Homo-oligomer: A and B are copies of this chain.
């Protein structure tokens, strides 16, 4: 199976970091974005940018940093945006709807697919988003987590939010799966019949509990999700055992 493509409309989703203090976090955020197929980064008043530490932590995502747009105000980064999500972990006395990344993701993806511009807005590492910044957004998004220790760092929050969006992109991990073929129910049944014969041939299948034993074996092998190749291996073993039992192979001498 071929590698899938990241959908083109993800370019309509931007990440905005408002007043980030540490260039390392900018780099880590860029890396997190790129792993999830996003490339458009806006920086509002970054303390140090560009910076070699940002490049180091971006790893293979230096291109995201090189194309980053630096602006003096959040308003400029949001000018052409129709849905702006303020990421926050504090209780806010605002009537803007609060939801989780998972609840919000389908709408954000649908809008991006329709060509609207969507923004994910993250605040300063220490202070988060100011009330002024939050009021420029029309959604509040909170990552669910431990209520007694909610200390998701900036790049981690970017990672979780972009992971959530990507998981609605339709890009699967199927291309990483080996091409083994699952056995059908008929193949499993035929395999179980072979097992029953082999157990009988070696004298293991006593009349009294044979039926119950085979019921357990059928349950086991139906549950196990047998692959064709595994059936072939086990059937080979059964055949060999049957050959010893019927004398068509002579007993093997141990050294």
Tell me the A residues contacting B by CB distance below 8 Å.
3-6, 31-32, 34-37, 59-61, 89-95, 97-100, 102, 142-153, 155-156, 159-160, 163, 166-167, 169, 171-173, 175-178, 180, 225, 227, 229-230
Contact = CB atoms under 8 A, between A and B. Distances in A.
Contact of A144 (B89, B91, B167, B230): B167
Given A36-B146, A167-B100, A167-B102, A60 B151 contact: yes
7 contacts: A34-B149, A37-B145, A94-B178, A95-B227, A100-B167, A144-B173, A146-B166
B167 A147 contact: no
Contacts of A91: 175-178
A249 B162 CA distance: 55
Nearest 4 A/B pairs, CB to CB: A3-B147, A37-B146, A142-B173, A35-B145
Contacts of A142: 173, 176
